[in-house]
Structure 1
Amino acid sequence: MHTINAEEVTPEQKVRIFLEALPYVQKFRDSIFVIKYGGAAMEAPFLVERTLRDIVLLEAVGIHPLIIHGGGEAINKAMKSQGMRPKFVNGIRVTDKDLIALIEKVLCKEIGPFIAQKIIEYGAKAVFIPGYEVFSAVKWQAFSSQGYPIDYGYVGSIVAADIHPLLKLLHNQFIVVVSPLAKGENGEIYNVNADIAASKMAKFIKAKKLIYLTNTSGILADEKNPNSTISVVDKRRIDALKKKELFMEA
């Protein structure tokens, strides 16, 4: 398959693309899109540029993007460099005090500011906000299949978000970048699942779209066929898929 570069697109093709996109631009102008940014789109330099330029374009046509970013491989690399060995229970990583400090450093000192700076370089206004300044959480209560409690350490379950500062920034043409961290009632920092953080944010801020950029296949029409991804769903279709038991709530 031949990939068309921007330089290869003729003026006529550009006009046609714009005309095809125009109804969607008009429909979603001044809407908030929550984008979960992770996977290969955060790792490969050419994908980083392409993805962030596309997000800048969304803002340029009047859409308000809010990014919840993942940790990518950066956390794993940082753990390895520090000689830290991950501990898993039932396939889920345990986050102890040393690890949450490392995660906070990687997310809030490296990845988040990097994304915001790149967006600025590509011509838009951007601001990074640590997730613990936005999300409130309680300690995640997990149980084994036998009903015994499992302590995953500093892993949180989001219960609220302070969206008012975010709304002000978004409507002043800032692209907002938020890390998947949350604060507990006693000031402790919790690691939270970035996919869940994005869905919670979309609900709290009443986003028109929730977009996942990820390596995983997503919702499959046929679980045995990785190419059967259902790219776009709304609440009505989700309810229908649940009835067909194609997926269950996570």
Structure 2
Amino acid sequence: MKDVVVIKCGGSTIAELSPEFFSSVVKMQESGKHPIIVHGGGPAINQLLQKLDIKSEFVDGLRKTTADVLETAEMVLCGKVNKQVVTSIHQAGGKAVGLSGCDGKLIEVNPINEGMLGYVGEPTKVNTGLLHSLMELNMIPVIAPIGMNQQGVHYNVNADSAAAAIAKELGAEQLVFVTDVDGILKDGKCLEQVTAEEIEAYIADGTIYGGMLPKVKAALSTLTDNLESVMIMNGKSRNVGKDGAVQGTKIMKTKQKLTVS
């Protein structure tokens, strides 16, 4: 299936995404493309962890996940947040179905480093047949990043990594990371485009750090012959057009000439 666009919505932006954003996703589908949304839910998870007095920490931008943290994350991601996004798409006139990576073995994972991170998994396989079936029914899949291994053990999956794996397995034409910043910032300014080589340098000198690290690493792992660029954009800004066109930082294999309008 051609024209697949994987859109990853960061947890910090979900509550602030406008009706216009979801309308743009529906219009994208009506134009012949096949959007898939993968969402996070960090702030909502943090709030519930605090209420339950469960400690949580991050290692290199990834949440260290104990059994208690996993149970909390699964409740928030697969329940509250997932259904919020599904409802917003319905309100915009579209049809959506909410899933977790455990449904239909959508996302199979292996643990990254159980000693350091606990129940945090990295995608190894995506059930693309399930996604194709839903898209053929004109449904917009909305995916919560909880996966499981072959033994049925559940793992927390970084939403950036989940989106990247889905885009790669489906041969998506575009991957968009919707976050709460305009893109990759250098000296306070948003970079319009960067190459893989430049990203490595920016990681080394500290320009790219924290929560942006998993995003750019996921972007680099996704760049293929089919997917030549990945976009990082701000979901709170007016940079999503009615036709689904977006603006932000474009990550590419090699530099492209910028067009002057």
TM range (shorter): 0.7 to 0.9
Report the alpha carbon displacement of residue 195 of structure 1 after superposing the two structures with TM. Answer: 0.9
Identity across matched positions, percent: 29
Name structure 1 gaps, 5 residues minimum.
Answer: 1-28, 143-149
Is the Cα–Cα contact under 8 Å of residues 122 and 157 in structure 2 kept in the other structure?
yes
TM-score calculated relative to the size of structure 1: 0.74
Is the Cα–Cα contact under 8 Å of residues 6 and 163 in structure 2 kept in the other structure?
yes
Report the alpha carbon displacement of residue 197 of structure 1 after superposing the two structures with TM. Answer: 1.0
Name structure 2 gaps, 5 residues minimum.
Answer: 205-215, 218-261
Instruction: Report the counterpart of residue 195 of structure 2 in structure 1.
Output: 238
1:68 aligns with 2:31: no
Structure in which a larger fraction of residues adopt strand: 2
Report the alpha carbon displacement of residue 90 of structure 1 after superposing the two structures with TM. Answer: 6.1
AA aligned to 1:121 is Q
What is the rounded CA distance, in whole Å, between the counterparts of 2:199 and 2:80 in structure 1? 39
1:158 aligns with 2:123: yes
Instruction: Report the counterpart of residue 7 of structure 1 in structure 2.
Output: none
Distance 1:163-1:91 versus aligned 2 partners, 3 A rule: closer
AA aligned to 2:168 is K
Instruction: Report the counterpart of residue 13 of structure 1 in structure 2.
Output: none
Report the alpha carbon displacement of residue 216 of structure 1 after superposing the two structures with TM. Answer: 3.9
Instruction: Report the counterpart of residue 178 of structure 2 in structure 1.
Output: 213
What is the rounded CA distance, in whole Å, between the counterparts of 1:39 and 1:114 in structure 2? 12
* Helix, strand or coil at the partner of 2:48: helix
Is the Cα–Cα contact under 8 Å of residues 31 and 64 in structure 1 kept in the other structure?
yes
Is the Cα–Cα contact under 8 Å of residues 39 and 213 in structure 1 kept in the other structure?
no
What is the rounded CA distance, in whole Å, between the counterparts of 1:35 and 1:229 in structure 2? 20
Is the Cα–Cα contact under 8 Å of residues 12 and 41 in structure 2 kept in the other structure?
no
Report the alpha carbon displacement of residue 199 of structure 1 after superposing the two structures with TM. Answer: 1.0
What is the rounded CA distance, in whole Å, between the counterparts of 1:174 and 1:78 in structure 2? 30
What is the rounded CA distance, in whole Å, between the counterparts of 2:152 and 2:131 in structure 1? 21
Instruction: Report the counterpart of residue 3 of structure 2 in structure 1.
Output: 31
Residues 189-200 of structure 1 aligned to structure 2 (within 5 Å): 189-200=154-165
Instruction: Report the counterpart of residue 74 of structure 2 in structure 1.
Output: 104
AA aligned to 1:64 is H
* Helix, strand or coil at the partner of 2:19: helix
The partner residue of 2:65 within 89, 95, 120 is 95
Instruction: Report the counterpart of residue 133 of structure 2 in structure 1.
Output: 168
Instruction: Report the counterpart of residue 179 of structure 1 in structure 2.
Output: 144
Structure in which a larger fraction of residues adopt helix: 1
Distance 1:242-1:62 versus aligned 2 partners, 3 A rule: same
Distance 1:31-1:78 versus aligned 2 partners, 3 A rule: same
Supply the RMSD in Å over aligned alpha carbons: 2.4
Aligned residues: 204
What is the rounded CA distance, in whole Å, between the counterparts of 2:167 and 2:155 in structure 1? 20
AA aligned to 2:66 is D
Distance 1:98-1:201 versus aligned 2 partners, 3 A rule: same
Report the alpha carbon displacement of residue 185 of structure 1 after superposing the two structures with TM. Answer: 1.8
What is the rounded CA distance, in whole Å, between the counterparts of 2:199 and 2:47 in structure 1? 37
* Helix, strand or coil at the partner of 1:84: coil
What is the rounded CA distance, in whole Å, between the counterparts of 2:13 and 2:58 in structure 1? 26
Structure number with larger C-alpha Rg: 1
Deviations 1:41-94 (A, max 9, x none): 3122xx342221211111122211100001141101111111212244566432
Report the alpha carbon displacement of residue 141 of structure 1 after superposing the two structures with TM. Answer: 2.5
The partner residue of 1:41 within 5, 9, 13 is 13
The partner residue of 2:50 within 80, 92, 99 is 80
Is the Cα–Cα contact under 8 Å of residues 86 and 97 in structure 2 kept in the other structure?
yes
The partner residue of 2:188 within 208, 218, 226 is 226
TM-score calculated relative to the size of structure 2: 0.71
* Helix, strand or coil at the partner of 1:151: helix
